[in-house]
């Protein structure tokens, strides 16, 4: 049972129409591929869709066995038209809280120097350091904050 009661198993994800459903299912596959790309991910036990907009951003909850952690952990996986990220569930119990953390983390990452970005102390995203990619990311994060975040569940 997911810690977010309205979350649905990713195989049952449904969008507002067929196009949205297909986009969300593609995003679910990307979320699975993303989390499996990490050596620390030993096993995926459960996978749920919590909220999102097909092709833009989707928030998933995965229950994972993580290397060197005894009990399986809940983790947010955020994918979309932006760099994917994993975030701990603890302290961010709603899709809104997780997406806000992502937005604030990317804003902090964008404001940081290259040395600070490489330190490992910031949100774990990968973006090419060229100016055009950084500007695209800045624009997408601004759009997430202004146009998407108000429509994401906060309960």
pLDDT tens digits for 97-136? Answer: 999 999 999 999 999 988 898 888 999 898 887 889 999 9
> Across all residues in the chain, what is the average pLDDT?
94
Domain boundaries, the chain: 8-151
- pLDDT score of 1: 84
Q: What is the CA radius of gyration of the chain?
A: 15
- pLDDT score of 127: 87
Query: Alpha carbon of 77 to those of 21, 64, 114: distances in Å?
Result: 18, 11, 25
């Amino acid at each position: 049972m997911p810690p977010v009661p309205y979350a649905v198993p990713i195989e049952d994800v449904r969008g507002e129409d067929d196009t949205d459903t297909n986009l969300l299912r593609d995003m679910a596959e990307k979320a699975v591929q993303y989390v499996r790309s990490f050596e620390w991910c030993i096993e995926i036990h459960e996978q749920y869709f919590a909220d999102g907009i097909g092709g833009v951003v989707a928030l998933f909850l995965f229950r994972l066995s993580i290397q060197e952690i005894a009990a399986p952990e809940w983790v947010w996986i955020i994918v979309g038209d932006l760099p994917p990220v994993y975030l701990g569930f603890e302290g961010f119990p709603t899709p809104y809280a997780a997406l806000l953390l992502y937005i604030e983390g990317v804003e902090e990452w964008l404001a940081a120097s290259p040395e600070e970005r490489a330190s490992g102390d910031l949100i774990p995203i990968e973006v090419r350091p060229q100016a055009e990619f950084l500007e695209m990311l800045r624009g997408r994060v601004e759009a997430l904050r202004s146009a998407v975040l108000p429509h994401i569940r906060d309960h």
